[in-house]
A and B are shown apart, each in its own frame.
Chain A
């Protein structure tokens, strides 16, 4: 009798799932502790810094909301695409292009420009529509290649990120460049900034847009016939076709919505945080958003707390860097280790610890 034996069917009870996931998170934190020790820091102090600032101080919580906003929108884009069977990974590009589109419209409202008389009541809806359509068009290109020609959307969308980033790099170095030394645009007019919503913090109205989007995506996927068709196309394209669903058309639709949501993430970053367009604003958020969606098990509502937790850890990492001198890149390690170990934790549920074997072994030695 073996001490650890394989189960015929994995134990997938809620308790087992919760226990193995918790074990995975603790294991990831334990591994990261060794890194903290290596940098001469006390792991307890490091974890305290990581979680205290974003979740126990108002200023830190405001920053956590700021960081969570684009993550929520990108995660929602991921959910719409992936649940429809379209494994899109082009959010870095959508984010950057959405940021550029909203910056362009905002700069056009500066005095003397063609849209100078635009009231904020027109500007914000117009900026949202414009960014959304730019993102939808961009991801739609990948959607067409997949739906019409059967191209591999995973690689095409990964590649398209570099193209989008280079396009925006060209824009800020050339046509949209402000007079001055750095390749960046002018600061956007104050009237185009998203309002700050928590006094004493940097949290801006973009979070309201993100929450509204989460509710809309939840409604689309759970309540509307169109969403049902999308999910069916994703789960089983053959069954979808048999049921009379135009699967390529649904794929294209899902691609467009998903890219549009990714572009709105760029809008919130530009109008809410940066207030000017420059090179390299995405900084990997397009991939982090995908990871957030996966951790939330592609559930549009669960995305909100998950993104807050993830965004908070990013804020905490900066605090950790200031206080303990630990490079904030360690949070990349911690975050991705958590995801990988949570994925691997399903293995634990396929095995069972056989305490009976231990006992019989003891009896055997005593005998």
Chain B
């Protein structure tokens, strides 16, 4: 078991939440977006990302010298929750904001920070995450995309897969093998390179999602030149650097709230029907959500304070529990109200149902499969 801190939001934070909410309701009223379930994967809208950027809400935790606001992880948490709860289209800038920025702040060169961070914060520069390969899903140590050293840079050959929104992204942080695979030290010899997705030798091929939509891609590298200054951190340290990102990636509200718009609509529907029995069932779901939020916010607080060595284990636990929860919402919904899931339905609940059912299988896979996370957590518990 894990002891996570409790967080009471300050008055300023509560005020900030309402400010974000008011902005989103205004945008909704203007019709600048249509709420969606799983909007952090499927809601890529560069205009919307730019309007968020104008509010200063991309990279709000980053240092002021790069244009950030140096605000707390908890502030970012609140912001993220509000986006997801309403189903705002945030996918375009999501990965750059969540992962690339913190990665560069921790391991990047000053030149990389000066170059990329301001662009990301303007909502004009998106990053893909180049980890998975066709034969290495959870087993990242088996990554085989290789980078060979040449004068002034690297030549990359290989293939990445499941890269969300690569077709919209400008760059990809790519995990590559810079030394031959060593069976005794599986995690050695991996490095992270920033690859310009518009460079020569890159081919991005769509993989249609089971909704028929285009979110995922295969990315092929054929003799792609990557200059030396695009190496992130140290050569051979790619594994450790990647691990450090995981706590940020795994414990956030996006692992709990992907189907929240559906849950919200379910409650509205039960209210319209004056269905008190249904609402009693729904109160159990609300309690589950509350219980998970406590953990997720607790991990955010640990990340903020930099305490707790096993924060990555707690984060893995939150992801495993949270994704199971968000996955359960469409199932519970269909038992409580009548719906006809259809992607282009008039009724919101039918559309949210369709999005949730069709997206749900991915929740417990992306960002670490539950099976792998269970192994990580179990070892952590036993070691305590």
Partners in one complex: no
List residues of B whose CB falls within 8 A of some A CB. none
